Amino acid sequence: MGGTAPGGGVARPLAAALAPFAVVAAAHIVPAATWLPRFRSACLPRLAGLGRPGHVALTFDDGPDPESTPRFLDELDRLGVRATFFVLGEAVVRHPELTRDIAGRGHELGVHGWTHSRPWLPAPGRDLRETALTVRVVQDVTGRRPVWYRPPYGILTAGRWAAARRLGLRPVLWTAWGRDWTAEATPASVRATVGADLRGGGTVLLHDCDRASAPGCWRSALGALPGLVTACRDAGREVGPLTEHGVGNDRPARHDTRRTGRPRPRRLTPASAAAADTCP
């Protein structure tokens, strides 16, 4: 005897009604599969940050922070190394002098987002506004327009990807990290974890503060730096920022300078940043 399963008449229209939402959700989150290190290294080497074999790109996320970031700057000065700092816009507004100091010491700044948020729901308008605002405050404070973009947690959704590309930013993740955000991390564990995946042409992810990590864990990354740099140099590899890494053919944005060659910053306050919260 033929028939229809109980509730079948309701299930089909409900499934049809939910289908568009499923498509939107899939489009939003599928690009985040690039978070998987082996997948992106094999299939998307530019996004993974693979550069020239004789170079290692050193990058830091989540700053600036007045307690920890200056210690990293001092250690990098001592080691004679420049790096790329992926900064949060809200932290740049709170600490403009420290942000200028990062640039003034020869490091480059990339965009890490306005806040360190997880993108659970699609919000392309917000992604564009917040990324644009972060670009603007970095440029206002340092006089240099950022080139690189790395989303918080490395979760590159469709909205974040589109925002970066519209703003002329180059998304880049990493090939090796130190797991330096955990309470159990030590300088030795950070060196070992980075070393397990580090090859010539790789991009290293560390953190110069504990804004989204275990309190004080930045000390492990700081303590690991000398050994990491020495190991790279012993292997015949230079250590430097992404701009010198040879990832693709992108060039840094041009910027205004004084006669001394230093960037010409503009004063920025939280109020002026909020007033600038529009897309360029």
Q: Which residues contact 276 (CB under 8 A, 6 or more apart)?
A: 133, 136, 137
Cis peptide before 64 (omega within 30 of 0): yes
Range of lowest pLDDT (53-67, 113-127, 130-144):
113-127
Q: What is the pLDDT of residue 11?
A: 53
Give pLDDT tens digits for 36-50.
566 556 667 889 899
Taking CA atoms, 130 is separated from 82, 102, 134, 160, in Å, by: 27, 22, 6, 10
3-state helix, strand, coil in the chain (%, to 5): 50, 10, 40
What are the pLDDT digits (tens) for 100-126?
Answer: 999 999 999 999 999 988 766 667 899
Is 28 an annotated catalytic residue? no
Residue 118: CB atoms within 10 Å = 11
The confidence band for 15, taking pLDDT boundaries of 50, 70 and 90, is very low
Residue 33 or residue 262, greater confidence:
33
Catalytic residue check, 61:
yes
pLDDT at 13: 52
Q: Write phi, then psi, for 70 (nearest 5 degrees).
A: -60, -30
pLDDT score, position 168: 96
Which of 55, 107, 112, 207 is catalytic? The answer is: 207
Catalytic residue among 55, 61, 180, 208: 61
Amino acid letter, residue 265:
P
pTM of the model: 0.78
Per-residue model confidence as pLDDT tens digits over 216-271: 999 999 999 999 999 999 999 999 999 999 986 444 333 333 333 434 444 444 34
d(CA 197, CA 233): 16
Beta strands in 215-277 (DSSP E): 238-240
179-211 residue pLDDT tens: 999 999 999 999 999 999 999 999 999 999 999
Q: What pLDDT does 259 receive? A: 32
